[in-house]
Structure 1
Amino acid sequence: MTAGRALYLEVNGLSTHAWVRGSGPPLVIVPGLGCASWMYVRVSRELARRRTVYVYDPPGHGYSQGLPHLPDCIEQLTDHLAAWLDVAGLKGAPIFGHSLGGEVAFDLAARYPQHAGALIACAPTGIPENPSVFAQLVRLLLDLPRERLGLLVPGLRAYAHCGVRRMLKLAHDQDHHDTGRLLPKIKVPTLLVDGTSDPVIRLWTLEAIRNAIPAAYVCQIEGGTHALPDVFPRAVARYTLDFLGAVKH
């Protein structure tokens, strides 16, 4: 399996990084809150067996440049992703969003309907319940002991780079980002993936999303935690690739 290559593009004046590996039709991975491209190595390697995988770093995350005031909200993350897809020539590619990246993927498909060919939302947070930041923190702390030890150092490195201020502002914005209003506008095929041992996401949350999106499907991975792409990369990749094959994306 190829190790891949770094891709840097200037988007709205910001140097924006993505890690690219594999060959075949494109697939874009959008990380969760504070996460970085290096946290998705395991799942991207599995997906790269049949796809050209772009692991995108949002502004202020991973190796991408940010500004003190950017991004401050989910809509800014979405706007930058849409601009990056245009610059990268990936408009209409399938989008794989993990955790907060799932919410960004929903926002993209609703507000930029031509930019996403299909959606895979893996453990999408904050929808539709939008718990308080404190509640989210408690749930994440409950989840940490269940995750792979090898993810701890890369995760802490990513969070330190993103910064507490930026992460808190983005988390707080979930209270104001009306995703519930946007979900019915999503018309592209959508797959919702979650784990049965994820304390952050509840099954009823995914059921509510499926009811709001006409073309949504739900699958669960037995024993899966919130960091599904890292702990169960083969299962996540299998569901993703089978889904994209079925919807011809």
Structure 2
Amino acid sequence: MSGRTAPAGQPHYTTVRGLRTHAWVRGEGPPLVIVPGLGCASWMYVRLARELSLKRRVYVYDPPGHGASEGAPGYPRTIRDLTDHLAAWLEASGLRCAPLLGHSLGGEVIFDLAARYPHCTTALIAAAPTGIPENPNVPAQLFRLARDLPRERLGLLIPGLRAYGRVGPVRMLSLAADQRRHNTGPLLRRVRVPTLLIDGDRDPVIRAWTVREIRREIPEAVVRVVPGGTHAVTDTFPKTIAASALEFLQWVEGPDTAPIGHFEQLNCGNLPE
């Protein structure tokens, strides 16, 4: 994958529900949408988008109030707000039925979307996803993130601080607190599209048992474990995540799709990053 140069990205703006919404777009081919985690922005997924764009047209979406997208006072306040806006943005951007790759809270958002807006996507890839049954309180989440920070790539620190500063503490705390109220349990059982769950084995934020429980709730889910993967596994192992995602989508979109157990048996060794 690294032998070719991916096309440079460009900003893409769409007005959704009165808010100017940004996505960073690069590459050619079938579309794939990246949905960021809590407080994160499109510029934090450059390394992953670069690898994915060798085979796909990648849209790195900024939720309202995140990155280069407009927010509004008190909006978004809940995960449901994020999901509703994403569904409207997919429709307005002509990306209905596009596969979605969500990271952290973005994973929970795409689960919610696939359950409540089943016409909006055909496949899900969730890296280090939050969601039922694990919804710790805000202090516990902050403690786990503090444990994770020393494990992340130093080059992500400044882009991450810039993204968190853009969202602001009030909006971040509101969305984090809503995780305890956002009962995805019944929603997960309504997800009926092929789903890949990616778990980093050095992630202190999302525990392995959480991913296993999510898999039990989603009938069409498979799990890939990334050795050495931290919570920001999309940044620390972009080539590995991209290779797994592209392989999964090739399996999903192939003319003769093998049983889901076949995909689980395929190799998942890390690539040189």
Shorter-chain TM range is over 0.9
- In structure 1, what is the equivalent of residue 10 of structure 2? 5
Structure number with greater CO (CA < 8 Å, separation at least 6) is 1
Q: 1:243 aligns with which of 244, 248, 263?
A: 248
Whole-angstrom CA distance in 2 between matches of 1:216 and 1:126: 14
Deviation track 1:193-214 (CA, whole Å, cap 9, x = no partner) reads: 0110000111111111111000
| Deviation of the 1:126 alpha carbon | 3.8
Task: Summarize the alignment of residues 1-249 of structure 1 with structure 2, pairs less than 5 Å apart.
Answer: 1-248=6-253
Whole-angstrom CA distance in 2 between matches of 1:33 and 1:201: 13
- Is the Cα contact below 8 Å between 2:105 and 2:129 reproduced in 1? yes
Q: CA RMSD in A?
A: 0.7
Question: Structure 1: 5+ residue runs without aligned partners?
Answer: none
User: Per the alignment, in what secondary structure is the counterpart of residue 7 of structure 1?
Assistant: strand
Counterpart of 1:11 in structure 2: which amino acid? V
- Is the Cα contact below 8 Å between 2:102 and 2:129 reproduced in 1? yes
In the TM superposition, structure 1's runs of 4+ consecutive aligned residues that sit over 6 Å from their partners are none
Whole-angstrom CA distance in 2 between matches of 1:197 and 1:175: 24
- In structure 1, what is the equivalent of residue 269 of structure 2? none
User: Per the alignment, in what secondary structure is the counterpart of residue 181 of structure 2?
Assistant: coil
Question: Structure 2: 5+ residue runs without aligned partners?
Answer: 1-5, 255-273
Paired residues in the alignment total 249
| Deviation of the 1:116 alpha carbon | 1.1
- The structure with the largest alpha-carbon Rg is 2
Whole-angstrom CA distance in 2 between matches of 1:50 and 1:127: 32
Whole-angstrom CA distance in 2 between matches of 1:175 and 1:199: 18
Whole-angstrom CA distance in 2 between matches of 1:220 and 1:187: 22
- Is the Cα contact below 8 Å between 2:135 and 2:180 reproduced in 1? yes
Whole-angstrom CA distance in 2 between matches of 1:127 and 1:214: 15
| Deviation of the 1:130 alpha carbon | 0.5
Whole-angstrom CA distance in 2 between matches of 1:216 and 1:109: 13
Percent of pairs with identical residues: 65
Whole-angstrom CA distance in 2 between matches of 1:128 and 1:5: 38
Deviation track 1:57-83 (CA, whole Å, cap 9, x = no partner) reads: 000000000001110000000000000
Whole-angstrom CA distance in 2 between matches of 1:103 and 1:247: 21
